[in-house]
Amino acid sequence: MQLLNASGCLDALTAPDVAQSLDAFVTKTVTPEPRQGNAPVRIAETDCGMLNAIGLANPGRNAFMREVLPQLRELHVPLWVSVGGFAAHEYAETCAQLADVTIELNLSCPNVDEAPESAAQIVRACREVTANPLYAKVSPHSWDMGETVRAVEAAGADGVSMVNTLRGVALDRRLAPILARGAGGYSGPALKPVALAAILAARRATDLPIVGMGGVTSGRDVLELIACGATHVALGTVLFADPAAPARVRDELAQECAGLGFASPDDAFCAALDGVVNVAN
Amino acid sequence: MSRPRRERRRVIAVDAVGPYRLIRLVRGTIEPGIAGQFFMLEAPGRVLPRPMSLCLAPRGELQFLIDPVGPGTFALSELAAGDQIHVFGPLGNGFRLDVPKPLLVGGGIGIAPLPYLSQQLEHPPAVLGFRSDEHALAADLVPNAEVVIDPVFVTEVMPTDRDVLACGPEPMLEAVRALAPEAQLAWEAPMACGYGACYGCVVEIDGELKRLCVEGPVLCSS
């Protein structure tokens, strides 16, 4: 089990020590052209989570390759590059330029227009141009997660990441949307049950590695995602509140495993699939 | 620059200052930093911490002035002596203190960083604006202050031959900037993390959207 950050929830260049406390660092999504992102207001806290509508702000592919990636490599943390675009060929063009990284295709940003092709078509286009490990990050807005996962696997994905944020809206006192864009991506503790259900459904459909994420704030949460079939776990919103979360979550995970009689978190893998957990005592 | 630390700190007391609350925390080994820098304060029961500029740093304490207007600031104002919260900071860039003729300008809860700034600059003159007499009780935290109450604005009494350091609501900062183009202005934006991770707090700087927590919160206006 590796502990990662969710894409867009950490800047390794402003917080290198936080990135180095993870098993791998996942970049903010890189698009072909530079993007300023959406106008503020971009974030809003809700009672059980938060909304964001950042809008894939990033320096664009060329500046990323030339300026950002060399600095990231100096941190000596395994790198995952999140790749975005507005058409399959845009994703593929970025993938073709990346070497020695794991690629996570962002197929599910709720804050920008989507590519016209399906997730599987985008994965296939990228698979044709890269031999790097290729993960597909999918949306929780799917009634049939098994079908989604089987499609991206057939298209050549080496793994899946789930879940991205859910689309949500928050209103201010005068009943106007707080976010300038209106809607945003909903993340935080409220997302965990959604993530658990998505991972369970995906695990029943595939043997591929799954990076689970969605509302993880504690070691117990990590174990629950593993029990539903996640092979790796990513931290998102919790990193905003607690940059020391990776070390804390690992400590809690070790204690949780000890309490349940597991020698390692991997012992909990798929425990929830049978509906039976072998709990010591 | 002081290295930010994130640690749990005990609440010494929460004092009423008019409608505002002054939260007094045990300082421990956390550096107070430079006036205008901010700290992320854990708001009990909320998902995200809240960014607050340091108000005062007497020996052994960190003090923050809060206006309880939303769920986060309300949770902070409800803290009691003995409670513990996580404190992360100092973060961001504070005021430049190497100014020959400083004038502090503040509006409403925007006066929060000015008591500490006043101390660091050895009590220069200040102009403070509030919406009511009750809110203006907070002016006692800033020595040498001239106080105006709505509908009088700070810009109506502010001398223009001084080095302005200001914090307040956005319309006030814009009006101050119009009179004093070289002013140092402390801005505000919703922030999830305070350390450059979330990209939520962007403001337009030189035609580009930049993170206020990294580039600010104090920006030179020219």
Q: How far is B185 from chain A (nearest CA, A)?
A: 19
Q: Looking at domain A3-38+56-166+189-273, which CATH architecture does it have?
A: Alpha-Beta Barrel (3.20)
CB B20 within 8 A of CB B109: yes
Burial tier of B64 (Cβ tally within 10 Å: 0-12, 13-18, 19+): buried
Nearest CA in chain B to A47: B46
**Contact (Cβ atoms closer than 8 angstroms) between residue B54 and residue B35:** yes
Write out the E strands in B71-196.
84-91, 102-107, 126-130, 145-149, 163-167, 184-186
pLDDT at B52 over 90: yes
Give the β-pairing of B102-107 and B163-167.
parallel
B139-162: average pLDDT: 96
- Span B82-92, average pLDDT: 98
Residue A218's CB: how many other CB atoms inside 10 A?
Answer: 17
Q: Are A145 and A137 a contacting pair, CB within 8 Å?
A: no
Strands B61-66, B20-26: pairing is antiparallel
DSSP B28-87: TT----SBTBEEEE--TT-SS-EEEE--B--TTEEEEEE---SHHHHHHHT--TT-EEEE
Q: Is the pLDDT of residue A6 over 60?
A: yes
Q: What is the pLDDT at residue B25?
A: 98
Q: Using CB atoms, which residue from A9, A36, A49 is nearest to B209? A: A36
SS3 call for A64? helix
DSSP A67: I
Contact list in A for residue B202 (CB cut-off 8 A) is 37, 40, 42, 57
Taking all residues of chain A, what is their mean pLDDT, rounded to a whole number? 94
Asked whether the predicted pLDDT for residue B96 surpasses 80, the reply is: yes
Domains of chain B: 5-91 (2.40.30.10), 102-180 (3.40.50.80)
- Looking at residue B221, what is its pLDDT? 64
A183, A53 contact by CB (below 8 A): yes
B207 vs A35, higher pLDDT: A35
Q: For chain A, list residues whose CB is within 8 angstroms of any CB belonging to chain B.
A: 8-11, 14-15, 18, 28, 36-37, 39-50, 52, 54, 57, 188-189, 237, 239-244
Establish whether A109 is a catalytic residue. Answer: yes
Q: Tens of pLDDT along A256-266? A: 999 999 999 99
Mean pLDDT calculated for residue range A176-192: 97
B205 in contact with A, Cβ within 8 Å: no
Give CA–CA dist B160/B168, Å, rounded: 18
* CB nearest to A241's CB, from B47, B199, B200: B47
Please give the structure tokens belonging to residue A270: 């798929």
User: What is the share, in percent, of chain A residues with pLDDT greater than 70?
Assistant: 97
Indicate whether A281 pLDDT > 50: no
Provide the token pair at B215: 């580039």
Residue A194 has pLDDT above 70, yes or no: yes
Nearest to A15 among B46, B189, B197 (CB): B197
Nearest to A240 among B198, B203, B214 (CB): B198
The domains of chain A are located at 3-38+56-166+189-273
Asked whether the predicted pLDDT for residue A280 surpasses 60, the reply is no
User: How would residue A275 be classed by pLDDT, with cut points 50, 70 and 90?
Assistant: low
pLDDT given for residue B205 in this prediction: 77
What pLDDT is recorded for position B183?
96
Least confident of A28-42, A94-108, B135-149, B205-219: B205-219
Instruction: State whether A240 and B196 contact (CB < 8 Å).
Output: no
Give per-residue pLDDT as tens, A92-136.
Answer: 999 999 999 999 999 987 767 777 788 999 999 999 999 999 999
| Among the listed residues B90, B109, B122, B118, the one whose alpha carbon sits nearest the alpha carbon of residue B6 | B90
State the smallest CA–CA distance between residue A146 and chain B in angstroms: 31
Give the per-residue pLDDT at A278: 47
Question: CA-CA distance, A228 to B65, in Å (whole number)?
Answer: 45
pLDDT per residue as tens digits for the range A202-259 = 999 999 999 999 999 999 999 999 999 999 999 999 999 999 999 999 999 999 999 9
| A38: its two tokens | 């959406």
Q: How many helices (H) and strands (E) does chain A have?
A: 10, 12
pLDDT at A279 over 50: no
pLDDT of residue B103: 98
Q: DSSP letter at A255?
A: H
The pLDDT, as a whole number, for residue A257 is 97
Residue from B48, B201, B206 whose CB has the most chain A CBs within 10 Å, to mutate: B48
- For helices A192-205 and A219-227, give the axis angle rounded to 10 degrees: 30
Chain B residues within 8 A of A47 when measuring between CB atoms: 71
Token pair for A13: 């260049």
- Among the options A9, A95, A109, A228, which is catalytic? A109
